[in-house]
């Protein structure tokens, strides 16, 4: 499944939040959206997910205009993995993952064997079987993120939209989440995720979209987009660039910290 965004614009009243944004994420591609806070990443996600219908431009999900896809059908194509949150009520991990199957259950139905199987499978794939009957509010942030990914898999959607999946996680959990994301991309999932970490984005993304003040600052392969120049403009800091490991790894050394 692919997603194509063309000339997307969105404003709140007179304030333009998104201006002329275009990009494509093909099947089996990982697109990372980089940009400072408040640059319109969340708004962009909300437009893509069908939560803000007031945009202009077109969003095409697997060949169909997103405006013509019903809520249910859209959910079968695209799943959202929110930042770590805590629900008001105390559900078990299994309950939460099972909720992912909602778009396949009739309006007044409850999950049947098939949906339970989907949830079990998703839990297996993310290797969180030991958490199955634990309370979602009582597991760690990294574990919750895995549960959210499992829920998206149970949703059977092939496009996954992730809002900073590694924020607020310790280093080990960041790597664990990223390697799960990487393996999902290999299995043919299309993933769009926002990130605050250019080094990480360089390491594992297929495409990068750099957003600044609602506009596309740069778009393309990580080698082209994630340059010293772009980082300087995006975050208004001076950086030095080092390429390591035959150019597989690129790190940015903030001048303010290095040249002391």
Partner 1 sequence: MANHQPTYKNRLIILSLGIVLIVTIIVSFLLGRYPIAPSELIGMILSKVFHIEPYWTETMEAVLFNIRLPRIMLACLVGCSLSTAGASYQGIFQNPMASPDILGASAGAAFGAALAILRSGSSTMITMSAFIFSLLTVAIVYIISKKAKGSKLLGLVLSGIMVSSLFSAGTSYIKLVADPTDQLPAITYWMMGSLSGAKLREVGFAVIPMALGLIPLFLLRWRINILTLGDDEARTMGINAKRLRFIVIICATLVTATSVSVSGMIGWVGLVIPHLARRLVGSNYRHLMPATMLFGAIFMLIVDNISRNLLSTEIPLGILTAFVGAPFFLYLITKKGEVH
The burial of 103, by beta-carbon neighbours within 10 Å (0-12 exposed, 13-18 middle, 19 or more buried), is given as: middle
113 forms part of the interface with partner 1 (CB under 8 A): no
Q: Among 15, 88, 236, 257, which residue sits at the site for partner 1 (rule: CB under 8 A)? A: 88
Complex with partner 1: residue 77 or 180, whichever CB lies closer: 77
Cβ 159 to partner 1 shortest distance, Å: 11
Tell me the per-residue interface mask from 224 to 243 with partner 1, x by CB under 8 A, - otherwise: --------------------
Q: Which is nearer to partner 1, 108 or 244 (CB)?
A: 108
Task: Give the range of 4-12, 82-90, 206-214, 219-227 binding partner 1 by CB under 8 A.
Answer: 82-90
Of residues 50 and 142, the one with the C-beta less far from partner 1: 50
- 74 near partner 1, judged by CB under 8 A: yes
* 215 Cβ contact partners less than 8 Å away, ≥ 6 residues apart: 19, 20, 21
| Residue 1: closest CA among 163, 222, 191, 164 | 191
Residue 121 binding partner 1, by CB under 8 A: no
72, 117, 186, 223: which one binds partner 1 (CB under 8 A): 72
Q: Which stretch binds partner 1 (CB under 8 A): 46-54, 197-205, 213-221, 226-234?
A: 46-54
- The dihedrals phi and psi of 232, each to the nearest 5 degrees, come to -60, -45
Pairing of strands 207-212, 215-220: antiparallel
Question: Across the strands, what pairs with 21?
Answer: 8
Tokens of 142: 């990294």
H-assigned helices in the chain: 41-48, 71-77, 93-99, 113-125, 141-154, 171-186, 198-204, 222-225, 228-235, 255-258
Query: Within 13 Å and on the Cβ side, how many CA atoms surround 126?
Result: 30
DSSP 51: S
Q: Which of 36, 109, 188, 254 binds partner 1 (CB under 8 A)?
A: 109
186 makes contact with partner 1 (CB under 8 A)? no
Paired tokens of 71: 């809520």
* Distance of alpha carbon 100 from alpha carbon 52, whole angstroms: 21
Q: Does 125 bind partner 1 (CB under 8 A)?
A: no
Stretch that binds partner 1, among 96-104, 183-191, 211-219, 243-251 (CB under 8 A): 96-104
One residue of 49, 139, 203, 216 binding partner 1 per CB under 8 A: 49
**Interface residues toward partner 1, by CB under 8 A:** 46, 49-51, 71-72, 74-76, 78-80, 82, 86-92, 95, 99-100, 102-103, 105, 107-111, 132-133, 155, 161
């Amino acid at each position: 499944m692919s997603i194509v965004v063309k000339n997307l614009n969105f404003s709140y009243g007179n304030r333009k939040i998104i201006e002329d944004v275009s990009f494509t994420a093909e099947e089996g591609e990982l697109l990372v959206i980089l940009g400072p806070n408040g640059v319109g990443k969340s708004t962009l996600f909300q437009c893509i997910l069908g939560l803000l219908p007031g945009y202009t431009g077109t969003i095409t999900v697997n060949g169909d205009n997103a405006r013509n896809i019903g809520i249910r059908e859209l959910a079968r194509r695209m799943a959202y993995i929110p930042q770590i949150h805590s629900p008001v009520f105390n559900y078990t991990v299994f309950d939460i993952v099972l909720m992912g199957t909602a778009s396949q259950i009739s309006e007044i139905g409850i999950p049947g064997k098939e949906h339970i199987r989907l949830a079990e499978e998703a839990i297996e794939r993310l290797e969180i079987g030991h958490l199955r009957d634990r309370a979602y509010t009582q597991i760690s942030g990294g574990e919750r993120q895995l549960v959210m990914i499992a829920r998206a898999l149970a949703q059977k959607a092939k496009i996954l939209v992730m809002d900073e999946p590694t924020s607020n996680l310790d280093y080990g959990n960041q790597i664990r989440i990223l390697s799960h994301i990487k393996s999902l991309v290999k299995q043919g999932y299309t993933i769009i995720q926002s990130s605050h970490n250019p080094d990480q984005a360089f390491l594992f993304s297929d495409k990068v979209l750099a957003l600044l003040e609602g506009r596309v600052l740069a778009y393309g392969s990580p080698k082209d987009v994630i340059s010293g120049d772009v980082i300087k403009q995006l975050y208004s800091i001076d950086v030095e660039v080092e390429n390591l490991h035959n150019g597989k790894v690129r790190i940015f050394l903030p001048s303010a910290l290095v040249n002391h």
